[in-house]
Amino acid sequence: MSHDLSLAQNHAFDLARTLMIPVTLFRVDGEYGVMPSEDLDDAEVELIHEYDPWVSRPAH
Taking only the tens place, the pLDDT of each residue in 2-15 is 789 999 999 999 99
CB 50 within 8 A of CB 26: no
Q: Where are the domains of the chain?
A: 5-40
Phi, psi for residue 7 in degrees, rounded to 5: -65, -45
pTM: 0.82
DSSP structure string for 8-47: HHHHHHHHHHHHTS-EEEEEETTEEEEEEGGG--S-S-EE
Confidence of residue 16 (pLDDT cuts 50, 70, 90): very high
The model's pLDDT over 27-42, given as tens digits with 9 standing for 90+, comes to 998 999 999 999 987 6
